[in-house]
Amino acid sequence: MKILTTIKKVVDVELTIRVENGAIVEDGLQYVMNAWDENAVEAAVQLKENNQAETTLVSIGGGEDNTKIIRRGFAMGIENGIQIDDPALAGADSFVYANVLQKVYEKGSYDLVITGKQAQDTDNGQTGIILAERLGLPCVSNVVAIEVIDDQHLKVSRLGDAGTEIVELTLPAVITVTDSINEPRLPQMRGLMMAKKKKIEVMDLAALGTSYDDVGGTTPKSQIAEFMKSETRTAGQKFEGDPAEITTRVVALLANEAKVL
């Protein structure tokens, strides 16, 4: 089984994000691998270890931070790495990403694509599903477990609205995974050292046999007009002291002031 895993460089969501004049202030931001993509990498590596799968990752974007997350994927156990580095793709939307990934998929031969269920920067959750549509492949999103039946079939579990859905999937296919599927391993020192020596196959859109126009970059379906500050809640009244006294007080406030009890 040949697996393609997609990984994305995202802003570290644990840090403070500032917005000025309709844009995010880049200064002081740090970048990491999208957390859900770490789950995707871990899922791929587990399939390598348990089912002799061959693993490849792909990341769209350039720069040192992007190289860093690819090396992290190597250190976790991924064997091959592809980087689509083309300045034209900065700020591309989910459809453009999916179109680029379609080209990557078609250039190789894969049985399974694993993506995180969404990226932490956009929180869109669309790319993997659109990619499956583009490729005409079956797709299961929000996957929490993968079981290999044979070379051509997987049994996957997804969290749906009515419960856990058990789906029999015929390969090739696309799945998007959520964080409860696994606990991504921390790369070990030896793995990180080895990862530095591994070659990354770097391509721009031309090398991929396409162009910015072809992947829909010049005709985006949507574009961000501006970023705004989030309507953040402000801290209300906080009570400390005798539990009986403050709890009684808060219940009275919930009933009389907030009128929600």
Residues 11-50 that bind other proteins (CB under 8 A): 11, 13-14, 17, 19, 24
Q: Which of 20, 91, 124, 209 binds other proteins (CB under 8 A)?
A: 124
Is the preceding omega at residue 172 within 30 degrees of 0, hence cis?
yes
DSSP one-letter code for 181? G
User: What are phi and psi for residue 17, nearest 5 degrees?
Assistant: -110, 120
Residue 172 burial by Cβ neighbours in a 10 Å radius (0-12, 13-18, 19+): buried
Q: Which of 46, 51, 126, 211 binds other proteins (CB under 8 A)?
A: 126
Regarding 251 and contact with other proteins (CB under 8 A), the answer is yes
Pick the piece of the chain touching other proteins (CB under 8 A) from 53-61, 64-72, 191-199, 223-231.
223-231
Question: By three-state DSSP, how is residue 123 classified?
Answer: coil
Closer to other proteins by CB, 52 or 230: give it.
Answer: 230
Closer to other proteins by CB, 193 or 251: give it.
Answer: 251
Pick the piece of the chain touching other proteins (CB under 8 A) from 1-9, 61-69, 79-87, 233-241.
233-241
Q: Which of 190, 197, 199, 229 binds other proteins (CB under 8 A)?
A: 229
Q: Which residues contact 174 (CB under 8 A, 6 or more apart)?
A: 112, 113, 114, 115, 128, 129, 131, 132, 135, 137, 138, 139, 140
Q: Which of 111, 122, 185, 192 binds other proteins (CB under 8 A)?
A: 122
Q: Which of residues 133-192 bind other proteins (CB under 8 A)?
A: 133-134, 137-142, 144, 155, 158-170, 173, 178-180
In whole angstroms, the minimum distance from the beta carbon of 193 to other proteins comes to 31
In whole angstroms, the minimum distance from the beta carbon of 260 to other proteins comes to 4
Q: Which residues pair with 55 in a beta bridge?
A: 3
Give the integer Cα–Cα distance in Å for 76 and 188: 8
Regarding 235 and contact with other proteins (CB under 8 A), the answer is yes
Regarding 258 and contact with other proteins (CB under 8 A), the answer is yes
Half-sphere CA count of 213, side-chain side, radius 13 A: 0
DSSP one-letter code for 258? S
DSSP one-letter code for 185? P
In whole angstroms, the minimum distance from the beta carbon of 139 to other proteins comes to 7
Regarding 67 and contact with other proteins (CB under 8 A), the answer is no
Q: Which residues pair with 14 in a beta bridge?
A: none
Regarding 218 and contact with other proteins (CB under 8 A), the answer is no
